[in-house]
Amino acid sequence: MTERTKITVGASLKVGRIGYGSMRLTGPGLFGDYPDREAGRKFLREAVEAGVDLIDTADVYGPHTAETLIREALHPYPEHLVIATKGGLVRSGPELSTIGYIGNPQYLRQSAVLSARRLGVEQIDLYYLHTGRATDASFADQVGTLAELRKKGLIKNIGLSNVTVEQLREAREITDIAAVTAHYNVAARHEQPLLDAAVGGGAVFVPWQPVSLTAPGDSTDTSGPEAIAAVLSPIAEAHGATIPQVTLAWLLTRSPSVLPVPATTTIGHLRENLDAQDLVLTPEEISTIDALAQ
């Protein structure tokens, strides 16, 4: 295998084109502890050995249990490993109805401090504002709080999660934004303007749920995913690859600044995800996948 291309996050963090999303290292409904914590720790160690050099997590995963598991498995961290976490989202149960949004500056400061403590670091490599939907503080004050924490050294790079293009522009007037993460995949391309705005301003764009074949609102409709899979299957077969590998390889063609963070809990699946970096789609195949949006 040839040396894989690296992508730069912020000014100095160099990582592979595909990272790892830790949201599944939790209990059912992303709530509570991962059922087999020893297996979770073993998986994380194997993931880093397999080539993962960016782990994406959040304080709301568990809550708190994913961050704690990462520390248990990997601390002291390898020098090359980048850990990104997030704050500003809360939940009191596994149901979606229990999710809430908090942008209060005091809460965000506390969240960042506690994430650093759980992860066992003095400085968080990449810290995201987890949502642009909080209304208990102005968006400018929320971003300003993270900018203040960066000046104090607690945060190395600032990211934005689930924001609008307008919010990204507003944030950039306050501070540098290193990364933007949003729901984006072959079926869900409603955030294309955000992708364009992110990479156009020098940030990396981090798609979450990158291998899903489901668009927003289609969770109970199987016809859409089945139709997409029917198009992707011959492409996968031609390369001796899987459909998820094809979707990841396609994402990498969207921009050199796209950095997917697929989630999994099996090392075999994780290695397949990483190997998608080596899959080169033909221009015709890319055009075929592009046309799915139409």
At 1 the pLDDT is 41
Computed on alpha carbons and rounded to an integer, the radius of gyration of the chain in Å comes to 18
197: pLDDT strictly greater than 50: yes
**Which of 42-46, 119-123, 238-242, 290-294 has the lowest average pLDDT?**
290-294
CA–CA distance, 259 with 114 (Å, rounded to integer) = 26
Choose the weakest-confidence range: 153-162, 198-207, 220-229, 284-293.
220-229
Residue 72: pLDDT over 80: yes
Is 128 among the catalytic positions?
no
For 43-58, how does the pLDDT look when each residue is reduced to its tens digit (9 = 90+)? 999 999 999 999 999 9
pLDDT of residue 241: 98
- Return the higher-pLDDT residue of 100 and 1: 100
Any alpha helices (H) in 92-242, and if so which ranges?
A: 105-119, 139-151, 165-172, 192-200, 223-239
Please give the domain boundaries of the chain with CATH numbers for all domains: 6-212+253-266 (3.20.20.100)
pLDDT tens digits for 153-166?
A: 999 999 999 999 99
Can you name the residues that pair with 208 across neighbouring β-strands? Answer: 183
Angle CA(262)–CA(245)–CA(61) in degrees, nearest 5? Answer: 10
Catalytic residue among 20, 34, 61, 127: 61
Residue 293 has a pLDDT of 80
Question: Any idea what DSSP says for residue 32?
Answer: S
pTM of this prediction?
0.96
Q: How far apart are CA 266 and CA 253, in angstroms?
A: 26
Name the residue type at position 154: L
Q: Distance (Å, rounded) from C-alpha 162 to C-alpha 139?
A: 13
Residue 3: its pLDDT value, please?
76
The answer to whether 50 and 57 have CB atoms below 8 angstroms apart is no
pLDDT in tens, 170-192: 999 999 999 999 999 999 999 99
Cα torsion 160, 161, 164, 167 to 10°: value is -30
Q: pLDDT tens digits for 265-288?
A: 999 999 999 999 999 999 999 999
